[in-house]
Amino acid sequence: MCSGKLYLVATPIGNLGDMTYRAVEVLKSVDLIAAEDTRRAKKLMAHYEVSAHVISYHSHNEHKKTDELIEKLQSGTNIALVTDAGMPCVADPGFLIARAAIAVGIEPEIIPGVSATTFAVAAAGVPVDRFTFVGFLAPKSAKRQRQLNDLKEAGETAIIFESVHRINKLVSDIATVCGDEQAVVIIREATKLHEERIRMKAGDFVKQYKDKKWKGEFVVVLPRVSN
């Protein structure tokens, strides 16, 4: 029996209209969709009239589920992996199953699409001929400050993901490590109805938004962090 195909499918980061034609076709063609969040996946599937069976595959169960999915692939099942938003493997699950599939001779097929990282690079309006993508920094301030100092030493534009619960703490640490004058670009709710882009100095952000109760998801761009 021929092995099935494994597809790593990029999904919208907010606006459902950003799904590619090819991605929709793949989701409609597979036998099984492994989703980081089945509720979000089913919302996307309903929008595009996709009827494949869905199972959960996320950071808390991917070690256990990977072997199961590899067995299904080897038995001929076609599987698509989707995460909450954006490209699998980029600050999201995907690496484990991709590595396991390659190890048994199944080359994953990549279905590219929108990414919060490339969105931020284009939206920031700062030099990005070279940049460092770091995803989420450490949740504790001391380690986060050490990571920020490493970015400062590297001297390249940095792209950072952050949650609504820690955005103010992150920018405060940026001001501490890089100085109040360090420019930041804060992109909130990219592609969504209430998308917002804030461009200011880190120190000014801390003062202006210290009591702000945020909603949404954030990408922070540090333009050419330098000494």
pLDDT tens by residue, the chain, 227 residues: 689 999 999 999 999 999 999 999 999 999 999 999 999 999 999 999 999 999 999 999 999 999 999 999 999 999 999 999 999 999 899 999 999 999 999 999 999 999 999 999 999 999 888 899 999 999 999 999 999 999 999 989 999 999 999 999 999 999 999 999 999 999 999 999 999 999 999 999 999 998 999 999 999 999 986 55
Q: How many residues in total does the chain contain? A: 227
Residue 155: its pLDDT value, please?
87
23 and 113 in contact (C-beta within 8 Å)? yes
Both tokens assigned to 139 = 């949740």
In this prediction the pTM is 0.88
Residue 218: its pLDDT value, please?
97
Residue 175: its pLDDT value, please?
98
Both tokens assigned to 161 = 């993901």
What residue ranges define each of the domains in the chain, with the CATH number in brackets?
6-111 (3.40.1010.10), 116-222 (3.30.950.10)
Both tokens assigned to 203 = 């120190």
191 and 184 in contact (C-beta within 8 Å)? no
Both tokens assigned to 178 = 């890089």
Which region, left, alpha or beta, applies to residue 49 given φ > 0 means left and ψ of -120 to 50 means alpha?
left
SS3 87: coil
**Torsional sign, CA 191, 195, 200, 203:** negative
Residue 188: its pLDDT value, please?
97
Using the structure block, give the residue that is written with the tokens 């592609």.
191
80 and 54 in contact (C-beta within 8 Å)? no
Phi first, then psi: give them for residue 102, nearest 5 degrees. Answer: -60, -40
- Within the chain, where are the H helices? 21-29, 38-47, 62-74, 95-103, 116-124, 141-154, 167-178, 202-209
Residue 1: its pLDDT value, please?
66
Using the structure block, give the residue that is written with the tokens 């301030």.
141
123 and 198 in contact (C-beta within 8 Å)? no
